[in-house]
C-alpha cells in the first residue's frame, strides 16, 4: 500500500508589539510577498501562513498577528500563547513609545513561559523612514543584547531599504523569519 503523505510540520510564530508598528504589514509581506494596499486595525487575533522548504522538507510557517493583548479576552490569550515556537517583538523605529513598550511585551511573554527557552528576535520596522528615526541603532542593539536577542532593522514597505543594524546584508523581511 502507498505510504500516507508526510504531515507538514507547522511552526507557530507570534508577532508582538504596540499597535501601529507594522505587525500586519510585516506578516502580509512575508506571506503574500508585497505590502498590503490598505490595512485595517487587527481585531483579536489573525494569522497568515506560508509554506517554505527547509532542508528538503516543506514546513508551514504560521504567523500570528494581534491587536494587542489588552483587547483579548482571557481565553483568547491562553490560545494565543499555546504551542509557540518563536516570538518576534516589533517596534517602530520612528516611534520611541513603541520601543519603550518592549519590556512590558517581553515580560508578558515570560509570564507565558516564552522567555529565553524559545527563539526570540527583535525587529525595528519602518527603516525606510530614515529621516524620522527616533530609536537609534546603538540603543536598540544594546537593548537587544541585554535580552539576548538578535536585532533586525527592516521595512515591510520597502524591503530594499537598509537598516543600520548588524544585519546589513540580510535586512529584509525574508531574512528575519
Ligand atoms: P500593526 O498595528 O502593528 O498591525 O500595524 P500595521 O501593519 O497595521 O501598520 C500600521 C501603519 O504603519 C500603516 O499605516 C502601514 O501602512 C504603516 N507601515 C507598516 N509598515 C511600514 C513600513 O515598513 N514603512 C512605512 N513607511 N510604513 C509602514
Ligand atoms: Mg495589525
Judge whether 123 and 137 are in contact, CB under 8 Å. Answer: no
Buried/exposed code over 129-141 (b: 16+ C-beta within 10 A; e: otherwise): beeebebebeebb
Q: Quickly list DSSP for 26-74.
A: HHHHHHHSS--S--PPP-SEEEEEEEEEETTEEEEEEEEEES-GGGS-H
Which of these, 29, 93, 96, 103, lies nearest to 65 by C-alpha position?
A: 29
Which among 16, 24, 25 is the best mutation to test ligand 1's pocket, defined by most ligand atoms within 8 Å of the CB? 25
Query: Could you read off the pLDDT tens digit of each residue along the chain, which spans 177 residues?
Result: 788 877 889 999 999 999 899 999 999 999 888 888 876 666 666 778 999 998 899 999 999 987 654 555 666 777 888 999 999 999 999 999 999 999 999 999 999 999 999 999 999 999 999 999 999 999 999 999 999 999 999 999 997 886 544 444 444 455 555
CA-proximal residue: ligand 1, atom 22 (nearest)? 126
Which among 156, 161, 162 is the best mutation to test ligand 1's pocket, defined by most ligand atoms within 8 Å of the CB? 156
Give yes or no for residue 29 CB within 6 A of ligand 1: no
Distance 88 CA to ligand 2 centre (A): 14
Q: Is the pTM of this model over 0.80?
A: yes
Amino acid at each position: 500500500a502507498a505510504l500516507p503523505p508526510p504531515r507538514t510540520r507547522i511552526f507557530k510564530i507570534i508577532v508582538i508589539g504596540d499597535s501601529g508598528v507594522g505587525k500586519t504589514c510585516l506578516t502580509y509581506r512575508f506571506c503574500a510577498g508585497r505590502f498590503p494596499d490598505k490595512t485595517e486595525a487587527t481585531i483579536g487575533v489573525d494569522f497568515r501562513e506560508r509554506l517554505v522548504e527547509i532542508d528538503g522538507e516543506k514546513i508551514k510557517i504560521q504567523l500570528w498577528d494581534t491587536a494587542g493583548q489588552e483587547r483579548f479576552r482571557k481565553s483568547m490569550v491562553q490560545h494565543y500563547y499555546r504551542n509557540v515556537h518563536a516570538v518576534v517583538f516589533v517596534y517602530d523605529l520612528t516611534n520611541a513609545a513603541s520601543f519603550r513598550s518592549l519590556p512590558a511585551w517581553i515580560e508578558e511573554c515570560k509570564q507565558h513561559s516564552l522567555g529565553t527557552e524559545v527563539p526570540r528576535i527583535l525587529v525595528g520596522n519602518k527603516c525606510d523612514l530614515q529621516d524620522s528615526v527616533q530609536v537609534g541603532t546603538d540603543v536598540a542593539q544594546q537593548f537587544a543584547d541585554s535580552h539576548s536577542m538578535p536585532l533586525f532593522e527592516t521595512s515591510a514597505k520597502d524591503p530594499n531599504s537598509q537598516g543600520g543594524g548588524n544585519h546589513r546584508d540580510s535586512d529584509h523581511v525574508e531574512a528575519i523569519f
